[in-house]
Structures are given as structure tokens and as C-alpha cells.
Amino acid sequence: MEPAEFFTFLHTPHSHFLTPLTQGNIRVFCRVRPLLPSDHAENLEHHCISSIEESHSGRESKVQRVFPPCSSQEVVFEDISLIVQSALDGYNVSIFAYGQTGSGKTYTMEGPHPLQDDTMGIIPRAVHQMFNSVVELKDKGWKYTFTASFLEIYNETIRDLLVDKTVKKEHKIKRPTSNAVHVTNRKYLNVETVEEVLSLIKIAKQNRATACTRMNESSSRSHSVFQLKIEGLSKKGNITSTLTLIDLVGSERIDKSESRDRLKETKAINCSLSNLGGVFIALANKDTFVPYRNSKLTYLLQNCLGGNSKT
């Protein structure tokens, strides 16, 4: 199987997408990034597509939304804001950004540094939405607490992005119960303001594994997994959920990225993405067995992908 074959039809150098899995359906959002001076493609024009269809395993899935290069960060977030809001209703919510190296995944998920109101990505916008909604829900008798963590998976090894790189701790994924996934030695921080979360994003960005390739001078070499655990209390009952926002490592071909000196790393990247594709195929086909344990990423996120989750 080609790496992440399930998503091959959006596997182009200038696009990435988010895949909400709602009510058993796979929805694909495609964002086409603008051409950059480094692309050396002054005479190349974008041909935007209003809809894309792909048949896979006997099922047909449509691209629900295509964002052309002129689309702002705000417009992109508007289309997924209702899914984000579901986390306050008790659903485990996950959003992935997937695409080739240099396609703009990190820009979409986080935004450029320094962050500004108009360039903020999905993670800071989602956090803003969470805290704004909590203020409104407080009047209805709800009290919420938030706990944040930030991990990366690099070469099938888990690293804590909220801990200095020089600190060496082993992290293992454990399942004490069927409904819980625990990562040993993970750093959790209670957060009460948007500013606190933005500070964590800045720390994580500094600690994340990156490298220079032909396609991107600062290519992310790991899966970045931001998780916000949400606990709500009221007289009507309690809820516990997790909002997970994932900036996947960029898929790549060695002949294009010219990262031959990082061959082991590239193999781990493509294998991990292929395993993620296998999980989505199994979920789409409603298979009785879903191969979550084939990679650290899917093993970590298994409670956020299946069942009553929204991804």
C-alpha cells in the first residue's frame, strides 16, 4: 500500500485536509495553499476544484469543502467550529491536518509566529471558542475545568513537548481500563485562560523535531498532538471529554524532499501515515477489528477515533 493510500486523492504538494468522521461518514476538507516565492512557479496558476470524489472500498466519499488559496484562517475555522463545540457536549473530538511536506499543515493548525488575530490557526481559535463558550454556559449552571498536554510522536517514540528537550523521560501508552488511555510521565497543566494555552503552544513549537528538506526549510518531522481534557459539572450531570488537535508529520517522497540522509526517519513517517489510513479504512467499513495498535499515534488516539467520537 502506498503511504496513506486512503487519502491519496488529496496528496498534492500544495494541499492538505481535515477529515471529520461524523455519523459514520468520512468528510474531507481540502485547503489549497497559495504559491510561495520559494516554489519558483511564477507562471503557474492554481486551478481550484469545487468538489472532488474518490471511491474507496466500495464507498464513495465527497470533499465537502474546498478552500481556495485566498481563504483566510477565520473562514477555514468557521467550517469546523461546530465540531469543536461538540467537545463541550461530552464528545471526544479530533481534528487532523494531513498533507505533503510544505503543504501548510502547521500554518493551518497553529498559525505563524508571532500570532495575530487574523492569522491564528485552528488550535488557538478552538481554545478561544472553548473559553468564550464556558463564560456563556456558566450562567446556565455549568462549571468547566481544562487540562492541557502537548506530545509529539517521532520515529514511533513519544516525546513531551512541554518538557525541555534535555530532559530524558520514557513515555509508554497504557490502558488501565477500556475507556482510558494513559501516557506515563506526561506533563499535564491546568489552564484557565487563552493566554496560558498560547504560551504552551509557543513552548511546544520550540521543542518540536524539525529538519530542512528541499520542500520545506523547517519541515516538521513528527506528529504533534495537542489535547485539552474537558470536565464539566452541573446539577444536570457531569461530562468528561477530550479535544485533540493533530498536526501530522508531512508525507513525502525521498526523491522530492531530498532527505536521503534521513531515510530511517522518512520510513517511520510513511509507515505511520499508512497505518493511520488503515484505521480510517477499517472505521469507514465498520470492521469488527480496527488496527489501532499498529502505530503509536493510533494507539494513543483510539478513544478519540471510534465509537461516539467526532473526528
* Residue 94 DSSP code: E
H-helix segments, 18-148: 73-78, 81-85, 105-109, 122-138
In one-letter notation, the amino acid at residue 304 is C
Closest by CA position to 306, among listed 99, 146, 91, 153: 91
User: Any binding-site annotation on 310?
Assistant: no
Annotated ligand binding at 119? The verdict is no
Q: Give the distance, in angstroms, between the CA of residue 173 and the centroid of all CA atoms in the same chain.
A: 19
101 is in an annotated binding site: yes
Quick one: CA dihedral 230, 225, 30, 77, positive or negative? positive
What is the biggest distance separating any 2 CA atoms in the chain, rounded to whole angstroms?
62
Query: What DSSP designation does 248 have?
Result: P
Q: What is the C-alpha to C-alpha distance for residues 170 and 263, in angstroms, rounded to an integer?
A: 24
The response to whether 232 counts as a known ligand-binding position is no
Mark out the alpha helices in 88-121 (DSSP H runs).
105-109
Ligand-binding annotation for 24, yes or no, is: no
105 annotated ligand binder: yes
Known binding site for ATP: residues? 99-106
Known binding site: residues? 99-106
